[in-house]
Amino acid sequence: MRDGSVDGLVDGSVAAQPTRRGTGAGRYLGWLVLSIVALVLAAALAVTIGPADVSLTDVAASLGGHAGLPGLPAVPPLTDSIVWQLRLPRVLTAAMVGAGLALCGAVMQSVTRNPLADPYLLGLSSGASLGAVCVVILGVSFALPAAAFLGALAALVATLSIARVGGTITPGRAVLSGLAIAQLGAAGTSFVIFWAAKGDSYREILNWLLGSLAGSSWTTVAISAGALAVVGTGIVLAATRLDAFTFGDTAAASLGIDVNRTRWALLAAVALLTGAMVSVSGSIGFVGLILPHLVRGLSGPGHRRLLPLAVVLGALFLVIADTVARTVFDPRELPVGIITAFIGVPVFIVLIKSRKAAAWA
Amino acid sequence: MGVVLDAVSFRIGGTDILTEVSAALPTGTVTGLLGPNGAGKSTLLRLIAGLERADAGGVELDGERVGGRSGLSRRETARRVALLEQSAAPSVDLTVREVVLLGRIPHRSRVLGSFGGDDDHRVAEESLAMIGGSDLADRAWHTLSGGEQQRAQIARALAQRPSLLLLDEPTNHLDVSAQLGLLGQVRGLCAGDGAGTGTGSSSGSDASASAGAGLTAIMALHDLNLAAAYCDRILLLNRGRLVASGTPDEVLRPLIIAEVYGVDCDVIPHPRGGHPVIVFSPAAAPAFPSSPEPRITRHGGSNR
């Protein structure tokens, strides 16, 4: 083959070669459209599910009413407020948080070249937890999102300044610094809980630590949607450059990429978005770890396809998981982090067993 | 035109890596960068590719300075210079076509570049055809042999549409036939006809000569005989200094090799190609300190 004639092979023997998967744009678009449709359907259904019976018609009528559309059937005020004040904000927050976490996880795995990376890798969740726990203990829970966000930012700054020794950030150093900060934050959180928590605050803390969307409101929708729209768009646009890193830093640099600046900017942006998500939902695990791997199976590793699909499927996954979390043990509600772990871990194990694990080593 | 090295010096933490290396490499030539481990070959390639800044002196590409305030930016450089590193990650979950498409990145708009546009795909196909690898396009990367991966990497580099191709020990880990095939292809990609240097392994040169016209190549090599067979010019580095430069005949001489590598060898003309062939003698002791005047024939039986 080496010395074979060049042109004859173009159309001749391609079909005989073992192809891996259809990388056609059509197939990918199919998955994307299917996922979006599934997300819309799941979100609509999720609003109808709960202790009080709400029909899809009620949902449509309520939404239409709030959108100012004329000529819709009247909805009982109680049903309307269940839809508009309780369930819709919650479903929307779940979608935004799921989308953001899946996006951040996918980018984090690429930036650090570590298949086990997740959005909390830089110690963000433990920083956020420390901030949140302090606020709960002090009895000023209304400030929790702000405290969690500030905690996440503090953790980010600490991690990056440790990782930046010598002016450059290597993936390995970022992971190690994140690990150190995460341990420190966890120790601080445990210390605060051990000394000060009791009764109600203990329950509130646990709920938050495991991740929960119970506190959703239109405010949390605004925070998460705003962060996703602004930071998320920036990440998607910049992260397509990550393709250049496929063969390492030098290869990326010789493709004209400013390696250090790209890595730095993406880490910071991912941390900001993660911080915003953690501040509204606590640290929900496994979405950011598992989803990107599942999505890669559908989209391939190219970021231009991976990231949009990860956003949609992350949203879909968390909408479903949260609906399960709040209804299965009705009237009690589970922290959604428990559900994502229960679903995520078996899926992850299957993934490890089935996939060519060599590609991860 | 081509590449001009103008007294390039480079230091890392007080250690001189390269000291005032100067050379002019005309367009269309293949230059072999030789020297012992640590001589500064890889560093020089990185400097030429604009990945490092020289502490003194500089690199000019077709009359334009690489890097610096007034020189070519990293992105502009990436459109003209393609660098292939020594080793490639083997566990990449991409098809060969996707790998080759990576080479189009410097040519895309930074933010909204149309990934996989028609033009990119066409260039990728052409690049694969230039190395005779069109049949590899849909193969998964990890199913390729070492030689095929290296050829596909060169196709990726060619997709950058460079005028200068830098290869850092491209024959590492390849078997003999893959080594000869690869270097023959590089030889063929450059416009120089290579008269007097070809060894009969001029694979793919007819297909690529037109498409690759004007391509200049610089490759760091360890194998002196491969350099002698495939390069128009040799730059011999030792401890960051340029020790010798010129044609293989001029540079690859027993005395020079003994001085730089500390080994005893004879140089004979290739029976068919006429280019120098270096035959090493398994000397008991390093030849350099007490080496006598090198002789053309010695140990008559060992010349096979």
Spatial separation of the C-alpha atoms in residues B223 and A84, rounded to whole Å: 74
Chain B window 197-216: which residues touch A at a Cβ cutoff of 8 Å? 203-204, 207-208
Chain A CB contacts of B88 under 8 Å are 247
Does residue B11 surpass a pLDDT of 70? Answer: yes
- Report whether pLDDT(A183) > 50: yes
Which residue reads 């119970």 in tokens? A214
Task: Provide, as residue numbers in chain B, all residues whose Cβ is less than 8 Å from the Cβ of A25.
Answer: 116
How far is B22 from B36, CA to CA, in rounded Å?
A: 19
Give pLDDT, residue A227.
93
- Helix/strand/coil percentages in chain A, nearest 5: 75, 0, 25
> What's the pLDDT score for residue B111?
59
* Band of pLDDT at residue B112, cut at 50, 70 and 90: low
Confidence bin at B267 (pLDDT 50/70/90): very high
Query: Which positions 257-276 of B are in contact with A (Cβ < 8 Å)?
Result: none
B91 φ/ψ sector (left φ>0, alpha ψ -120 to 50, else beta): beta
Instruction: Indicate if the pLDDT at residue A77 is higher than 80.
Output: yes
Taken in order B209, B215, B216, B222, the sign of the CA dihedral is: negative
CATH number of B3-93+159-252: 3.40.50.300, 3.60.15.10, 2.60.40.10, 3.20.20.70?
3.40.50.300
- CA B238 to chain A, closest CA, distance in angstroms equals 24
Please tell me the predicted confidence (pLDDT) of residue B285.
57
Query: What spatial distance separates the first Cα and last Cα of chain A, rounded to whole Å?
Result: 31
DSSP label at residue B190: S
Cα–Cα distances (Å) from A115 to A177, A192, A286, in that order, read 17, 32, 13
A6–B105 CB contact, under 8 Å: no
Q: What percent of chain B has pLDDT above 90?
A: 36
Q: In the structure, what pLDDT confidence band is assigned to residue B212 with cuts at 50, 70 and 90?
A: very low
Mean pLDDT of B53-64: 88
Q: In what order do the strands lie in the sheet with B64-65?
A: B15-25, B3-12, B56-61, B64-65
Among B178, B188, B247, CA closest to B215: B188
Contacts of B106 in chain A (CB under 8 A): 255-256
Tell me whether residue B190 is exposed, middle or buried, using C-beta atoms within 10 angstroms of its C-beta: 0 to 12, 13 to 18, 19 or more: buried
Which residue type is seen at A317? Answer: F
Q: Do B202 and B229 form a contact (C-beta atoms < 8 A)?
A: no
Q: Which residues of B touch A29 (CB under 8 A)?
A: none
With a cut of 70, say whether residue A7 has pLDDT above it: no
A-chain residues near B125 (CB < 8 A)? 10
pLDDT confidence band for A61 (50 / 70 / 90): confident
The mean-pLDDT minimum among A66-70, A254-258, B299-303 falls in B299-303
Which residues touch A331 (CB under 8 Å, ≥6 apart)? Answer: A51
Nearest to B132 among A4, A25, A359 (CB): A4
Q: Does B108 touch chain A (CB under 8 A)?
A: no
Of A36-45, A229-238, B29-38, B221-230, the range with the lowest mean pLDDT is A229-238
Mean pLDDT of B8-27: 90
- Please identify which residue in the block is written with the tokens 């895309």: B108
Q: Which two tokens stand for residue B39?
A: 């001589």
Mean residue pLDDT across chain B: 81
- Contact status of B143 with chain A (Cβ, < 8 Å): yes
Tell me what pLDDT residue A359 has: 47
- Chain B residues close to A296, C-beta within 8 Å: 93
Question: Is the predicted pLDDT of residue A22 greater than 60, yes or no?
Answer: no
Q: Which of A111-120, B111-120, B200-209 has the lowest mean pLDDT?
A: B200-209
Q: Does A18 contact B74 at a Cβ distance shorter than 8 Å?
A: no
d(CA A220, CA A92): 9
pLDDT, mean over chain A: 82
How much is the pLDDT for B292?
52
**B53 contacts chain A (CB < 8 A):** no
Which are the contacts of B58, defined by CB distance < 8 A and separation ≥ 6?
B6, B8, B65, B66, B67, B68, B71
pLDDT at A295 over 80: yes
B46/A250 touch (CB, cutoff 8 Å), yes or no: yes
Across the range B280-299, mean pLDDT stands at: 58
- Are the beta carbons of B277 and B225 closer than 8 angstroms? yes
Confidence bin at B146 (pLDDT 50/70/90): confident
* Chain B residues within an 8 Å CB radius of A255: 78, 102-103, 105-106, 160
In a 3-state reduction of DSSP, which class is residue B14? coil
Dihedral, B28, B29, B35, B41 alpha carbons, nearest 10: -10
pLDDT of residue B300: 42
Per-residue pLDDT for B42 more than 80?
A: yes
Please report which confidence band the pLDDT of residue B201 belongs to, taking 50, 70 and 90 as the band edges: very low
pLDDT at A184: 93
pLDDT band at A142 (very low <50, low <70, confident <90, very high): confident
Query: Taking residues B234-255, what's their average pLDDT?
Result: 93
Q: A260 to chain B nearest CA, in Å? A: 12
Give the mean model confidence (pLDDT) for residues A171-200: 86
Chain A residue closest to B140 (CA)? A20
Task: Specify the higher pLDDT residue, A352 or B294.
Answer: A352
Sequence ranges of the domains in chain B: 3-93+159-252, 253-304
Using an 8 Å CB-CB cutoff, list chain A residues near B203: 2-3
Q: Is the pLDDT of residue A357 over 50?
A: no
- Alpha carbon distances (Å) from A301 to A242, A245, A357, B92, B145: 10, 12, 15, 9, 21
Domain borders along chain A are: 54-61+76-356
* Dihedral of alpha carbons A316, A318, A323, A324, sign: positive
The answer to whether B114 and B69 have CB atoms below 8 angstroms apart is no
User: Tens digits of per-residue pLDDT, A97-134?
Assistant: 999 999 999 998 888 888 888 888 888 888 988 988 88
Q: Find the closest chain A residue to B204 by CA distance.
A: A3
Task: Report residue B113's pLDDT band, with 50, 70 and 90 as the boundaries.
Answer: low
Residue A37 CA, chain-centre distance (Å), reads 19
- Residues of chain B contacting A12 with CB distance shorter than 8 Å: 135
Q: Does B96 touch chain A (CB under 8 A)?
A: no
| Among B160, B181, B207, beta carbon nearest to A6 | B207
Q: Do B88 and A250 touch (CB under 8 A)?
A: no
Burial A111-120 (b: 16+ CB within 10 A, else e): bbbbbebbbb
Q: Which residues of A touch B74 (CB under 8 A)?
A: 253, 256-258
- Number of helices (H) and strands (E) in chain A: give both, helices first: 16, 0
- The Cα A359–Cα A357 span in angstroms is 5
Note the CATH number of domain A54-61+76-356.
1.10.3470.10
For residue B142, the chain A residues in CB contact (below 8 A) are 359
- Taking CA–CA distances from B201, the nearest residue in chain A reads A3
- Asked if the Cβ–Cβ distance from B93 to A14 is below 8 Å, we say no
Of B91, B160, B203, the CB nearest to A359: B91
Contact B102 A244 (CB under 8 A): yes
Distance of CA B209 to the CA centre of its chain: 18
Give the 3-state secondary structure of residue A277.
helix
- pLDDT for B301 equals 43
Say yes or no for a CB contact (<8 Å) between A17 and B139: yes
A124 or A181, which is more confident? A181
Q: Reply yes or no on whether the pLDDT at A59 is more than 70.
A: yes
Scanning every residue of chain B, which has its alpha carbon at the shortest distance from the alpha carbon of A256? B75
pLDDT-derived band at B118 (thresholds 50, 70, 90) equals: low
Q: Is B79 on the interface with A (CB under 8 A)?
A: yes
